[in-house]
Amino acid sequence: MVKKEILIDCAGWGDLILGVVVGALNLDLPDARYMERRIPISSFQPPNFEKKKYLNDAVKIADKIVAVTQPNAETTFKVRSGYVLSSIRRYLRERGFRVEEVEVTGELQEKVERGYIRWCKEMGVPVERLENRGRFWTFLEWVREIPRFREKLVKTGWESWNNKWRERAFLRGRIAC
């Protein structure tokens, strides 16, 4: 049996807007096949956020990863640490797969990050606002420009959104960091 190695990572978990992009990279194919799926923003908004729907969505993505990558008994899934991927690690272990919790760097991390950036562009975020990784303040400023329209793109299930950031987003003037 051929030993396979499949890496799984995500991007967008800590960002104010949109959902999360989950990507998988099958390292054992000559062209290192990559696939990605999105956990929608609605999973990070009430009432879905409180129900942790994003974890169920992650499991659905894991199911697709298994279907596409066709793992065997020798396959090892190397899944990034972090809460949003915890349900993927649990799902894979429950199905008898070997799972390692790892810090992902390199090609997969770059591909998943590009997938999240692509999603931001699709939703109208200007390219210049996407240049650095510490995007919280940049995204908050962007939402503030048209808050009634752009709030639908925010992870409004976050307690901090309702307790602090929403009010700042709807205030006039610049936000003090």
In sequence order, the 6+-apart residues with CB closer than 8 A to the CB of 64 are 35, 37
Instruction: Please check the confidence at residue 131 and state whether its pLDDT lies above 60.
Output: yes
For 1-170, CATH gives 3.30.420.10
Positive/negative CA dihedral, 37, 57, 143, 134: negative
Question: In the numeric block, which tokens belong to residue 35?
Answer: 């696939």
Positive/negative CA dihedral, 117, 121, 127, 130: negative
Instruction: Please check the confidence at residue 106 and state whether its pLDDT lies above 90.
Output: no
7 forms beta bridges with 25, 78
H or E stretch at 26 = strand 20-26
Instruction: Please check the confidence at residue 75 and state whether its pLDDT lies above 80.
Output: yes
Give the Cα separation of 34 and 24 in Å (integer): 6
Q: Residues 81-95: pLDDT tens digits?
A: 989 999 999 999 999
Give the Cα separation of 46 and 155 in Å (integer): 9
Residue 129: the pLDDT is 85
Positive/negative CA dihedral, 111, 28, 86, 152: positive
Give the Cα separation of 66 and 24 in Å (integer): 10
Q: What are phi and psi of 11, to 5 degrees?
A: -145, 145
The strands making up 76-80's β-sheet, listed across from edge to edge, are: 34-39, 20-26, 5-11, 76-80, 98-102
Percent of the chain clearing pLDDT 70 (strictly above): 92
